[in-house]
Amino acid sequence: MAEANRGAGKEIVAIRRADGESRTLAASLPRLVLEARRIAANVIHGLHGRRRAGTGENFWQYRRFISGEPSQNVDWRRSARDDHLYVREQEWEAAHTVWLWPDRSPSMAFASRQARDSKLERTLIVTFALAELLVAGGERVGIPGLMNPTASRGVIDKMAQAMLHDDAARPSLPPSFVPSALAEIVVLSDFWSPIAEITAMLTGLSSSGAHGVLVQIVDPAEETFPYSGRIEFVEPEGHGVITAGRAERWASDYVERVALHRDQIRAETGRLDWLFATHTTDRSAAELLLFLHGGMTVSKTGVHGNVKVGRSA
């Protein structure tokens, strides 16, 4: 019980610290955009509304017909060209929903000496700041299973209060739900979950046609395994303790397994046309925020892929 109270106390401290730091980070974005204009011009378009499909007069794109849609949505002329059914989408400037998922599970509390923040603090700072920017741009932002989509200018306060009053379990991955085809999803986690769970999550979230970004937030020590001698490793989510007699002998195998795990995630995100990025907590939070805000714009233009933010591979 005492251990649970200490864990809850760490999260409250992290949320309060992230709340203040994220406001400063969001306010600095115009300066970051000016500095990044040479290499990320699309971010500027993100600040002034992002083109998307919906009701309107101008043609936007064709997309595959989704089972369960009204048959009158089918563009039969386009569909006659091959074996698939297509829907003709029009350009729309109205707000849609961006779902943000910050991983608040116990493993996120880890921070080594090289880190600027714990993984939890970094995840919350970026989540809050991104929500503030999206709402300022006219979007609605929600957290699956925790906060309904809102366009309130007090979105950071709403998020922080929702987390502070959340007494449910802290899963690493978002709960199962079906976002709209126009929705965007940003999942920030260390993604040390089994690949089968990550694949199942991606399959479910993308089933409606929604796109998104997976951002792996890791500590520098989780990149390089800088341990030697006799070390006791405690799994923070109740999976036991492992003792290494000479930890330095584990380093090469560890790095190989991390690379394999990431390759599997990249394969899944690439197959579904999602973005995958990695970010280490010794890097700037502003760097990740800039990437996310610009990357979400890129995803709407049909450019997808896998990206490195920081030194992680």
Domain count, the chain: 2
Residues 76 and 156 in one domain: no
Residues 221 and 272 in one domain: yes
Structure tokens at 55: 């009701």
How many Å apart are CA 172 and CA 189, to the nearest integer? Answer: 7
What pLDDT is stored for residue 92 in this prediction?
44
Residues 102 and 213 in one domain: yes
Final residue in a domain of this structure, among 37, 67, 92: 92
**302: confidence class by pLDDT, cuts 50, 70, 90:** very low
Domain that holds residue 58: 54-92
Name the residue with higher pLDDT: 37 or 10.
10
Residues 136 and 155 in one domain: yes
Residue 309 clears pLDDT 80, i.e. is over it: no
**238: confidence class by pLDDT, cuts 50, 70, 90:** low
Residues 157 and 298 in one domain: yes
What pLDDT is stored for residue 10 in this prediction?
65
**266: confidence class by pLDDT, cuts 50, 70, 90:** very high
Give the chain's end-to-end CA distance (angstroms, integer). 39
How many Å apart are CA 78 and CA 23, to the nearest integer? Answer: 47
Q: Closest Cα partner for 215 from 303, 133, 291?
A: 291
Final residue in a domain of this structure, among 73, 92, 111: 92
Final residue in a domain of this structure, among 92, 120, 152: 92
- Report, as an integer, the average pLDDT of 188-205: 96
What pLDDT is stored for residue 201 in this prediction?
96
Handedness of CA 163, 167, 168, 170 (dihedral sign): positive
Residues 147 and 161 in one domain: yes
pTM reported for the whole predicted model = 0.69
What pLDDT is stored for residue 237 in this prediction?
62
How many other β-carbons are positioned within 10 Å of the β-carbon of residue 137?
16
Residues 58 and 24 in one domain: no
Residues 256 and 200 in one domain: yes
Task: For residue 229, give the 3-state DSSP assignment.
Answer: coil
Give 107-174 as a DSSP string: GGG---TT-SS-HHHHHHHHHHHHHHHHHHTT-EEEETTTEEEE--TTHHHHHHHHHHT--S---SSP
Q: Which residue type is seen at 224?
A: T
Residues 158 and 73 in one domain: no
Q: Which residue type is seen at 279?
A: H
Name the residue with higher pLDDT: 138 or 304.
138
How many Å apart are CA 136 and CA 46, to the nearest integer? Answer: 11
Tens of pLDDT, residue by residue over 216-231, are 999 999 998 777 777 6
How many Å apart are CA 265 and CA 196, to the nearest integer? Answer: 10
Sheet of strand 97-102, all strands in order from the earlier edge strand to the far edge: 147-150, 140-143, 97-102, 184-189, 211-218, 275-280, 306-309
- Report, as an integer, the average pLDDT of 58-62: 59
Query: 180 burial class (0-12, 13-18, 19+ CB within 10 angstroms)?
Result: exposed
Residues 79 and 181 in one domain: no
Residues 239 and 303 in one domain: yes
What pLDDT is stored for residue 192 in this prediction?
93
Name the residue with higher pLDDT: 106 or 280.
280
Residue 203 clears pLDDT 60, i.e. is over it: yes
Residues 169 and 88 in one domain: no
